Homo-oligomer: A and B are copies of this chain.
Amino acid sequence: MKLKINRNILLENLNNVGRALSTRNIIPIINGILFELSEEGLNLTATDNEITIRSFIKREDIKEIESTGSVVIYGRFILDILRKLSSEDVDIEEIDGCKVVISTPTSNYSLNTFNVMDYPIIKMDTNEDSIKLTAGNFKEIVNQTVFATSTQESKPLLTGINLKIIGDRLECVATDSYRLAKKSVLFSLMGSKNVNLVIPARNINEFVKLIDNDELEIELYAFSNRVLFKYENLLFQSSLLNGTYPNTDTLVPTDFETIYRVNVNEFYNAMDRASILAQAKDKNIVSLESKGNKLVLTSSSVEIGKIEEEIDYETVKGDNIRISFSVKYMMEALRSFTGKEVNIYFNGEIKPIIIRENDNGDLLQLILPIKTY
């Protein structure tokens, strides 16, 4: 393998596939990036056995190809080298089947390589059932739900988001069993196949971080044990979590005793200040009480003191309420809304709290209250 290529083009593609490199990995070869140079172009692949990312640089973007071939280069070092170089082009040449030389007019790097034969064979083929989505929409859907996944390995299925496509409806659900985030949208670019996947939160987060142009299209290919996304010149593949994701439809009440309407920013900032006294994450409790024409948020700690915040609100329905909940959960839920105002729905002080932009809002956040007596 021997080629000359623009440094920025190579770096950009290596940065993308480099997201699949794990720092915690103990299998040496998957710290490497697989370079596969053919007459069509250069394929770069990295994997941590959970996520695999492949990027294709087409022939026109390569200055010279002197000989084709494959090589596995230590990912961290090739990335560091390309980031710190300032030359326009770099030459890359495999020598003796055991090292690669990266050179510019003033720099010369000789790196030992891994044996290509040892690199894991990863199936990344597509099928005919592609589902097309707008990149920006998909990123928004993920970001509005994924934070509600569980971080506890004892509930493995809840560490992923549940992505369902039924006809022209896409539904994304995440829950850690104390709160739930659910987004349900109709989309016009229909696929021919229904889909029901549980994608690990970490993996789907890495994928949406790669999206730098919201206008582009994503193609989604679902398989029994993997999901593959096609975006620009990238293939991103993630493993799936096995099992039947719990049915969450029954958790969301349809009737409410009390509905308040609040300004999202005002409510969020008051919550942020009320959280100051919360020293430990699990003591992160705020109480909300309607008093006349104000909502009063209170938080207290015997050792430190007491906080009281007032905000304006509007009663859409029902009566006064007093309820307590995790300030962290409420803040994360509020952050997912893009509008100026939201409705908060209550059924007394021990039933779930629901937040939506309005009764028909396609995004729903549910938080279980905390008993404080």
Interfacial residues, chain A to chain B (CB-CB below 8 A): 74, 77, 80-81, 84-86, 99, 106-112, 269-270, 272-273, 276-277, 303-311
Neighbouring B residues of A84 by C-beta, 8 Å: 269, 272-273, 276
CA distance in complex: A269, B304 (Å): 51
Nearest CB to that of A99 among chain B residues?
B305
Q: How far is the CB of A290 from chain B (nearest CB, A)?
A: 15
Q: Which of B77, B106, B305 contacts A276 (CB 8 A)?
A: B77
Query: What are 20 residue pairs bridging A and B, where the CB atoms are less than 8 Å apart in the complex?
Result: A74-B304, A77-B276, A77-B277, A81-B276, A84-B269, A84-B273, A86-B269, A106-B309, A106-B311, A107-B307, A107-B308, A107-B309, A108-B308, A109-B305, A109-B308, A110-B305, A110-B306, A111-B304, A111-B305, A112-B305
Asked whether, in the complex, the Cβ of A310 is within 8 Å of the Cβ of B107, the reply is yes
Q: How far is the CB of A156 from chain B (nearest CB, A)?
A: 35
Asked whether, in the complex, the Cβ of B273 is within 8 Å of the Cβ of A304, the reply is no
Residue from A85, A86, A269, A307 with most neighbouring chain B CB atoms (10 Å): A307
Q: Which of B107, B112, B276 contacts A273 (CB 8 A)?
A: B107
CA distance in complex: A310, B110 (Å): 15
Asked whether, in the complex, the Cβ of B273 is within 8 Å of the Cβ of A85, the reply is yes
CA distance in complex: A306, B304 (Å): 58
Neighbouring B residues of A304 by C-beta, 8 Å: 74, 77, 111-112
Asked whether, in the complex, the Cβ of A303 is within 8 Å of the Cβ of B112, the reply is yes
Nearest CB to that of A277 among chain B residues?
B77
Neighbouring B residues of A106 by C-beta, 8 Å: 270, 309-311
Neighbouring B residues of A108 by C-beta, 8 Å: 307-309
Neighbouring B residues of A272 by C-beta, 8 Å: 84
CA distance in complex: A123, B171 (Å): 66
Neighbouring B residues of A111 by C-beta, 8 Å: 304-305
Assuming A84-B273, A99-B305, A107-B308, what are 10 further A-B pairs, CB within 8 angstroms? A74-B304, A80-B276, A81-B276, A106-B309, A107-B310, A108-B307, A108-B309, A109-B307, A110-B308, A112-B304
